[in-house]
A and B are shown apart, each in its own frame.
Chain A
Amino acid sequence: MAVETWNGVSLELWAKTLLIRETEERFLRLFSEGKLFGTVHTCIGQEYTAVAVAEALQPGDLIFSNHRCHGHYLARTGDVEGLTAEIMGRATGLCGGRGGSQHLCAAGFFSNGVQGGIVPVAAGLALAEELAGTSNLAAVFIGDGTLGEGVVYETLNIASKWALPLLVVLENNGYAQSTSQRETLAGELDARAEAFGIRAGRCELWDIPQLLARAEAAAAYVRRERKPFFLRVDTYRLMAHSKGDDDRDPAEVAAYRAKDPLGRFAAEHPEDAARLQREASALVDRAVAKAEAAPYAEAGPHDADPPAWRAVRWQPTTFQAHDRVVGRLHDALRNHLLQNEKLVLLGEDIAGPYGGAFKVTRQLSLEFPGRVRNTPISEAALVGLGNGLALNGWLPVCEIMFGDFLTLAFDQFLNHAAKFRYMYNEQVKVPLVIRTPMGGRRGYGATHSQSLEKHWLGVPHTRVLALHHRFDPYELVDRLLSNADRPTLLIENKLLYGLKTDAPPPRGFVVEHSDETFPTTRLRPLTEPDLVIFCYGGLLPEAEQAADRLFEEHDLAAEIVCPACLYPFNAAPLEESLRRTGKLLIVEEGQGFAALGAEVLAQLAERGAAPARVRRLAAPAHPIPSSGPLEKALLPGAAQLVETAAGMCADA
């Protein structure tokens, strides 16, 4: 006899749960038949958490899910066909076959298979809603194993401090892959959230009415109080972590299987269960059939960054404001804050009156309260917040106090920001801007003086810029914020901040800029050049000094080529300069191994434009010392440039 409810829960919810179960079991079969690409992490046994949370959410709410996301997605959308096609690699998949099992995106739903990193992104989604003044919240699903990730705590701290409408759902299934929680987690799980002043609630999967109620209450609390909530759901995964890799005690698994709510429902209502299962199975059959009939995903025109090689036209330099680099940066940010109410600045110590370690943001926080925010010392979380803001239609500009600590946010740049647009099949753009000072010569020592940009170069769908004083930083930032279509790292060499933007070039040289959006700058000697110096960012002033001295002391005319855009890199302007002289001197402040200089040479060589004589100057393989004279001797500067260039030209 058919029932309306079981255990006080409507059959509709049982149907949803069963659909998730049926879909994932089919995925496992398809996997063993070799019809899936990659792996699948099923939530078999855990489905009701997804259903309960989906029940508690409202249409405008947002979800960020993890590697085990099928259930979360199906509970929210019911889109079996899109999911099946996605996992089977078809063009009809919900992300066009680009994302696959762990990277879903549709209807305010996102997932990414990077443990921990999704949490600040979800917080960023919540921050965007909060800034926009909606009643929406963001929910994020994590497993207990992910409690090992530091960025989770960075985010809990910020979410609490900033009162973000963030619902953290901990699916506590006791294991991370094969590793038991007992082996890796210390202390109480809920206490982690409570330590940050975040309200925590606990429930278990095996008490469905309680689970539904607690999820409902949690979401209501977040929505009402505009505060985060930490919902711990004790649960158990009945199948292997992904494929057949289950090393857990079979007796333990069997005990939980006996408690499986869906199993109990089927045992008590075999006919209803059989009917619901038939219906679910039919949906899945149809989804698989449709997917199999659909074409495989194909490469699209925008998949790869287009080759950057493009001949340029040159414009002579124009008047620049009578200010210093730091002032121009400040003015550009301020102007965009005025113009664009979706611009948000995040960073450590950026609020006024301190205004940032290098004083770029000065008093902006006082003028734009709420949109210029001090963060805790949490590089990963603050860039993650930026990612969430960007996904949610805002324009975040994140300041990392020292470029050295960009490494702590590398995951956010590489595995989140750089990936979203592609793996979500162009459904999103990520206008994330990260600004950071780099470089030495200030005696800050090994961990505060590096030029690490080479580690950030070559990440598809991102951009790396290095500003300098010859192309108005205001203009650069203005163009960047006006064309913020991809994650962009803006490198600001520390020594440049104080430089005047209107200082004339050395006598006898003219400054020209290419017609690229982020131009190449050329310091052209008013005579035939003897060699070309290639540099960027903070080494431009050194190269200028060198060019000045090379002329005066060594009777040599050096042309300087200095790109603002290090990636995607256009070598054509450099190639143009090299046509007039076969000598190229490359200088980089960071490590030269596998850095931009090496890439530039490789590209020139491939084009048959390899210069006849080449030298590269870079920091030796050596951490940066603090002592002034030691540091000066180590980092390449004007003196080494002069010496090397003179040598190159002497014995040529």
Chain B
Amino acid sequence: MPEPAIVRVPHETVNDETVTLQRRAVAEGRAVKAGEVLAVLETSKASIEVEAPRDGYVFWCAEEGADIPVGGALCGIADTERRPEFAAEALKPAHAQADSDAPRAGGPARFSAEARRLIAEHGLDERRFDGQGLVRGADVLKACRPAQADHAPAAACEPPPAFAKPGAPARRERLPRAKRAENRMLRAAAARTVPSTVSVQVPTRGLRASIHEQSERYGSFTAVAIHELARLLREVPVLNAYQHDDAIHFYESVNVAVAMDAGKGLKAPVIRDADRKSLREIAAELQAFLMTYLRGELAAADLEGATFTLSDLSGEGVQQFVPVLNEAQAATLGIGAELPHGAGRALTLTLTFDHLLTEGRTAAGFLRALGKALAKYDRDPGAEPPRRAPRPSPPPTPAIPSSGTSCAPGPACSRPGPSSRTPISSTSAATRSWPLSSSTTSRSWPRRPSTRWRSSTPPRPGSSRRCCARITRARPPRCSNGSGPATPGPEPGRRPTSRPWTRPCSPRCAR
């Protein structure tokens, strides 16, 4: 009987070492066809589906709710209806096998548990250790040290103070996986940005109500906000960028993440190219995301590639809040509720931005311009929503981060989340007139992961909605060097031994 095909946890979500088997989509022993969904896995970012790589009968190796290492076995697909014997070896995670070469040649490093702990503690980005092979705790601390010595702001590198003994007893409950992953990102962002916040109160007459009344036309308030801010961002590219290595890296597209939290955890699906989409398109996409969110089916790909984040709490009765900067983003916008103010109403827009990139003046200018843009939708009998957003007036001085505020060589910037989806332009910086002077040159991301040897490349996160487990096991490259043990086939013409004459050759006694 042929061995069953083992379906493994795909290497989709690079940050996760384990995933949770949320749901078995096929019952034990039941037949599946290739391409059918086998299982739903919960990763730190989202749920992913695993498809059957071939036809056959499904026999599970893991229980629902179990944590399975990446590369670990989910189930086997056999040719017959009898449950096969799984070889213990086959069930071992194929993780090491696929990635054994990676830590070399600039690939992702391997971290000890201690190193991972310290990285999380210090909010570092694992990717800064790319190409370093094995990273131990001491290596992480070493990476922090120069920053400590040279730069006061890099306080994030200092070992955090010992946890003070709490004064009252408490019950410990581990943070959920998603929260833990989010925290890693937030710490990473916090580690190398200097967040600053500017708020602007925008007087309104009944903006939300106005948009709501014309929802056929405008969709929702959030959609309008995205629509307007995205186009504004095109004009203020420094807020659609990230800082690394004393350089601004401008994103080439405007991908707006929209925070959603309706009882199913905080998620931020991304509206891509929001600056180029019509309000109608944005509204439809947002609606679709919301439905997917409520079904708990947001995929990893839906959540990746953001260049800017919007948290719209205008419907929540919150007057004002300070949104937290995300990894590899220059700014994030928070919208508070539209509350009575004086004779009319007012809406508070709050922008948290990275002071290493720009300063409050630019941020305030951006917010005011946004307020103006939104005002077009406000109750003003006869007022049409504007066809085009007004151009904000440029501030007088370019917003060049001074080297004094840079954190280099402190904790490395993380690579931007959507690296594969959002190419970063460094050359385009010079062609933009505002707010950056052409003298600021920016280097493109210095360390790209080297090409890995894979017999077939699994779909990258972000390139496909569905994650398929059809990942064939990667092998070390076949060496064509004939001299090594690589080609052990018979070599024609080669005799293994040239044997010495064992007989002595002295003459025999004559008979």
Residues of A within 8 A of B (CB): 54-55, 59, 75-79, 82, 94, 105-108, 315, 317-322, 328, 331-332, 335-336, 338-340, 342-343, 390-393, 395, 424, 427-429, 431, 471-472, 474-475, 478, 481-484, 500, 502-510, 513, 525-527, 551-557
Contacts and interface: CB of A to CB of B under 8 A. Distances in A.
Nearest to A500: B89
A315 B485 CA distance: 11
A503 B139 CA distance: 28
Nearest to A12: B511
B110 A555 contact: no
Interface stretch (B23-31, B360-368, B487-495): B487-495
B381 interface: no
A475 B133 CA distance: 29
8 contacts: A342-B499, A392-B502, A395-B496, A424-B504, A429-B499, A526-B104, A526-B134, A551-B136
Contacts of A94: 506
Given A340-B497, A474-B488, A527-B139, A555 B104 contact: no
A527 B133 contact: yes
B112 A551 contact: yes
A475 to B, nearest CB: 4
A556 B136 contact: yes
Interface string B337-351: 000000000000000
Contacts of A504: 96-97, 100-101, 476
Interface of B: 89, 95-97, 99-104, 109-110, 112-115, 132-139, 475-479, 481, 484-486, 488, 490, 494-497, 499-509, 511
A106 B506 contact: yes
Nearest to B115: A555
Given A108-B508, A471-B485, A431 B497 contact: yes
A555 B479 contact: no
Ordered nearest first, which 4 A-B pairs have the shortest CB separation? A526-B133, A504-B100, A508-B110, A475-B485
A507 B110 contact: yes
A559 B96 CA distance: 18
Nearest to A328: B488
Contacts of A393: 499, 501-503
A507 B497 CA distance: 39
Contacts of A513: 485
B504 A105 contact: yes
Given A336-B496, A508-B133, A527-B135, A108 B486 contact: no
Contacts of B475: 319, 322, 502
Contacts of B477: 319
Contact of A507 (B103, B138, B476, B485): B103
Given A319-B486, A475-B485, A554-B112, 13 more contacts: A59-B511, A75-B509, A77-B506, A79-B506, A107-B508, A318-B484, A332-B488, A338-B490, A340-B495, A507-B100, A552-B112, A552-B113, A555-B137
A62 to B, nearest CB: 9
Contacts of A392: 502-503
A395 B497 CA distance: 9
A108 B485 contact: no
Contact of B499 (A108, A320, A395, A475): A395
Given A106-B504, A331-B488, A553 B110 contact: no
A317 B475 CA distance: 13
Contacts of A322: 475
A555 to B, nearest CB: 4
A532 to B, nearest CB: 15
Contacts of A395: 496-497, 499
A507 B93 CA distance: 12
B134 A525 contact: yes
